[in-house]
């Protein structure tokens, strides 16, 4: 009989209140984590002094963002030249196009990360 009385004590209202309190606790915990992440991001964004490693990393990132589209354009151009020969060099045109695309992407990324208007 004791087990039946315990079942009657747990009403849907009590379990609803407990789940609501648990939800509010989880929500405040999530809000606190988001707030701490935002503070950390703002602090990093406002910190203007960069180390040599940041500069080298930026140098490498910019280099690869220009080199990969350029090489890809040259390879695709060589494939087109081998399949359909014309008087125009697709290798050269797509190499220049790839480099131009890479430079544009690098420029956009630098302006976004450097907050340059």
Q: What is the pTM of this model?
A: 0.53
Q: Are 99 and 69 in contact (CB under 8 A)?
A: yes
**What are the tokens at 42?**
């703002």
Counting Cα atoms < 13 Å in the Cβ hemisphere of 17 gives 4
**What are the tokens at 68?**
């990969």
Tell me, what's the pLDDT at 29?
82
Any idea which residue has 């406002």 for tokens?
46
Task: Write down the domain spans for the chain.
Answer: 1-48, 50-112
DSSP 3-state of 54: helix
Q: Exposed e or buried b for every residue in 21-54, given b needs 16+ CB within 10 A?
A: eeeeeeeeeeeeeeeeeeeeeeeeeeeeeeeeee
Quote the CA–CA distance of 117 and 109 in Å, as a whole number.
12
Sequential pLDDT tens for the chain (117 residues) = 444 444 444 555 455 566 666 666 677 888 888 888 888 888 877 776 667 777 777 788 888 999 999 999 999 999 999 999 899 999 999 999 999 999 999 888 888 776 655
């Amino acid at each position: 009989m004791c087990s039946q009385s315990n079942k009657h004590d747990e009403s849907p209202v009590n379990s609803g209140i407990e789940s609501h309190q648990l939800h509010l606790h989880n929500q405040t915990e999530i809000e606190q984590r988001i707030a701490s992440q935002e503070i950390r991001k703002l602090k990093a964004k406002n910190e203007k002094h960069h180390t040599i490693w940041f500069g080298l990393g930026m140098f490498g990132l910019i280099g690869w963002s220009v080199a990969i589209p350029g090489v890809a354009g040259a390879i695709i151009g060589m494939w087109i030249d081998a399949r359909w020969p014309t008087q125009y060099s697709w290798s050269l045109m797509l190499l220049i196009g790839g480099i131009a695309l890479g430079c544009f992407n690098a420029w956009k990324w630098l302006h976004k990360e450097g907050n340059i208007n």
